[in-house]
Amino acid sequence: MNISVIINQLLLLFLIIFLGYILQKASIMTESFNKQLTKLILQVTMPALILSSVLDESATLSGHTILITFAVAILMYLLLPPAAFVINFLMRTPKEQTGIYAFSATYGNVGFMGFPLISAILGPQAVLLTAIFNIVFNLSAFTIGVLLICRGSGRRESLSFKKLLSPGILLSVLAIIIYLTHLRLPEMLCKFTETIGSLTSPLAMLLIGATMATMPAREMLSEMRVYLFLVLRQILLPLLCWPLMKLLITDPLLLTVAFIMLIVPVANTSVLFATNYDLDTKLAAKCVFLTTLFCIVTIPFLLMACLGI
């Protein structure tokens, strides 16, 4: 894996993001269209991408690797919330904002940034591992994440177990079953799934760009605490976690996937949750905006500094 390949891929993704920004500003993409596009990605193209990862015969992972991946993902999403509270302490975050920052520090953009990036630079085996991280991400976000984001707001919310039964989760589970049972589907169905799954990356990037276009740039760039959050979450936290990850994870592919899961920008889910629970949506949007904007610098830097590529 060459760092120039990663930088070129990130530049390509950002060109598509920029196109989405322009299309939103030109009213070609609209709020109602974006909502439908989100459903299309989450319920159709991303599940197809996950499924196609196990239908590719070049994907050769052992059941042991899959179990280890689950263990690593679970450990990551158990350790990140305490790390998020340390970040809040270092930033001296006001009580009413602690939930937004804690959620943003814990959950990266596995879906709209992680899958496209890993699919492009690491291939189908890595997509399957990413699907496992996505399962644990959703299990954590709709349980621990709800408690995190409501912290400091005075709200008491019940856990959303029903929302765990999304097409992405169900197809991830199905993909793992198909892989472990060595089930082979007809070639035409495999090609169909691969073609639909390949739409995930461009559509997701267009959607990120369109979302960023709805945020006033001056307002997005004006809050200084978010810049401190950017440094702590996107640079310092991965650098501190890297020695532990390298010690615990011996599989090079899994190590790379897990590290990328850690360094992707803040998940769009934070904005959705903030809206759903009547919290500070603008602050959540700022965290998403800035970490996405600067990931074209932070991701290559961290991959070079830690993985040596």
Most confident of 39-48, 160-169, 282-291: 282-291
For residues 24 and 215, is the Cβ–Cβ distance under 8 A? no
- Of the pLDDT bands very low, low, confident and very high (cuts 50, 70, 90), residue 100 is very high
Q: How far is Cα 292 from Cα 10, in angstroms, rounded to an integer?
A: 11
Q: Which residues of 280-304 are buried (b: 16+ CB within 10 A; e: fewer)?
A: ebbbbbbbbbbbbbbbbebbbbbbe
- State the average pLDDT over residues 114-131: 82
Q: How many CA atoms, within 13 angstroms, populate the side-chain half-sphere of residue 246?
A: 9
Q: How many CA atoms, within 13 angstroms, populate the side-chain half-sphere of residue 131?
A: 33
Asked whether residue 165 carries a pLDDT value surpassing 70, the answer given is no
CATH number at residue 50: 1.20.1530.20
pLDDT of res. 127 = 83
Asked whether residue 159 carries a pLDDT value surpassing 60, the answer given is no
Q: How far is Cα 287 from Cα 289, in angstroms, rounded to an integer?
A: 6
Q: Please give the distance of CA 270 from its chain centroid, rounded to a whole number.
A: 11
User: 160: alpha, beta or left, given left = phi > 0 and alpha = psi -120 to 50?
Assistant: beta
- State the average pLDDT over residues 242-260: 93
- Of the pLDDT bands very low, low, confident and very high (cuts 50, 70, 90), residue 160 is low
- State the average pLDDT over residues 91-98: 92
Number of compact structural domains in the chain: 1
- State the average pLDDT over residues 146-167: 67
**Cβ-based burial of 277 (10 A; exposed 0-12, middle 13-18, buried ≥19):** middle
- State the average pLDDT over residues 112-118: 82
pLDDT of res. 208 = 77
Structural domain containing residue 184: 3-307
Q: First CA to last CA across the chain, in angstroms?
A: 7
Q: How far is Cα 190 from Cα 92, in angstroms, rounded to an integer?
A: 51
Higher pLDDT, 154 or 219: 219
Vertex 58 angle, CA 54 and 62, to 5° = 65
Taking only the tens place, the pLDDT of each residue in 4-18 is 777 777 788 788 888
Q: How far is Cα 215 from Cα 282, in angstroms, rounded to an integer?
A: 9
